[in-house]
């Protein structure tokens, strides 16, 4: 079944309740698959769940689970591929593949690898993992779709630690120079990477000013406030003549108390059986 995007999606009370319940189910899937795998990245996956839920259930992405290569689809590219559990959970909820695939996450030969693989997983637009590459690949998609006179929008999600790399900024310059207005970058601004906080490892601030200087329409939001998320996504689609950057301030491990408390320590560490059980209880599983 094809899912059409809406012109200007509106957040009603009914839709808000649906999004919150969907996000809860997605977070439960993230915990279960990572606990079983015994490795992976829970913090960022849980932190970006509300953004992904808004994109896929809020009416912003045109897609077809029955036909993942549908030519008229919008593109969602996860550049920081290590938080792929959230993408996998979202795709499984939409029926791109059976839930049974989640049980084999990160196993040799499995459909769901530790970083997204477009050859193995329906709904994955680009194989990512090398930081920065997804941002540039998504830009190429946006430029190609625009040249083909399509109204496709390309949403690319990245980590704040990821943009310490130099490659993304070359892409940002190109996006601005070519006025690629169907290209939106969503930065997971959780101030956390594997070695510590981003501000300790490599300070990014003033990040909004940097994106503005690179020619982006720049929006800063609370990445867990659905009203703010919807407003920003609508604004991105309506902006013409320049690309958009949404800096989403998120909480590492959102929804699980001990992960929220310890921040970057849960960037790449999975919970043991006892802690997974606690997480699932907190999420109402």
Taking only the tens place, the pLDDT of each residue in 183-236 is: 999 999 999 898 899 999 999 999 999 999 999 999 999 999 999 999 999 999
Q: At residue 172, what are phi and psi to the nearest 5 degrees?
A: -65, -40
The pLDDT value recorded for residue 7 is: 79
Structure tokens at 138: 């998504």
Decide: 11 and 234 in contact? Cβ < 8 Å. Answer: no
Domain ranges (residues) in the chain: 13-282
Q: Which residues of the chain, if any, have pLDDT below 50?
A: none
Which residues, including other chains, have CB under 8 Å from residue 37's CB and lie 6 or more apart? 105, 106, 107, 270
The pLDDT value recorded for residue 1 is: 67
| Distance (Å, whole) CA 181 – CA 279 | 40
Domain over 13-282 is classified CATH 3.40.50.970: yes
The pLDDT value recorded for residue 186 is: 98
How deeply is 152 buried, as exposed, middle or buried, from its count of CB atoms within 10 A (0-12, 13-18, 19+)?
middle
Diameter over CA atoms, the chain: 53
Q: What is the pTM of this model?
A: 0.96
Structure tokens at 19: 């999004």
| Distance (Å, whole) CA 67 – CA 64 | 5
Structure tokens at 185: 């970058």
Q: At residue 49, what are phi and psi to the nearest 5 degrees?
A: -60, -40
């Amino acid at each position: 079944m094809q899912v059409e995007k809406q012109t200007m999606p509106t957040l009603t009370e009914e839709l808000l309740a649906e999004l919150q319940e969907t996000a809860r189910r997605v977070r439960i899937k993230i915990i279960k698959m990572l606990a079983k795998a015994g490795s992976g990245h829970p913090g960022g996956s849980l932190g970006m769940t509300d953004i992904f839920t808004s994109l896929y259930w809020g009416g912003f992405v045109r897609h077809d689970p029955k036909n993942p290569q549908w030519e008229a689809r919008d593109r969602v590219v996860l550049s920081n591929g290590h938080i792929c559990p959230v993408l996998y959970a979202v795709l499984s909820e939409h029926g791109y593949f059976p839930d049974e695939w989640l049980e084999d996450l990160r196993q040799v030969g499995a459909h769901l690898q530790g970083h997204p693989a477009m050859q193995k997983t329906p709904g994955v637009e680009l194989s990512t993992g090398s930081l920065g590459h997804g941002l540039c690949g998504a830009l190429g998609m946006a430029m190609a779709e625009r040249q083909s006179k399509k109204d496709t929008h390309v949403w690319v999600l990245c980590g704040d630690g990821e943009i310490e790399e130099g490659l993304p900024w070359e892409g940002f310059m190109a996006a601005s120079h070519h006025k690629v207005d169907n290209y939106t970058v969503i930065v997971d601004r959780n101030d956390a990477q594997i070695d510590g906080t981003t501000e300790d490892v490599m300070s990014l601030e003033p990040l909004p000013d940097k994106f503005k200087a690179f020619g982006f329409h720049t929006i800063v939001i609370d990445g867990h406030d659905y009203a703010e998320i919807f407003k920003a996504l609508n604004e991105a689609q309506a902006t013409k003549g320049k690309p958009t950057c949404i800096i989403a301030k998120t909480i590492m491990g959102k929804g699980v108390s001990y992960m929220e408390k310890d921040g970057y320590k849960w960037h790449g560490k999975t919970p043991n059986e006892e802690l997974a059980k606690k997480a699932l209880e907190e999420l109402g599983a």
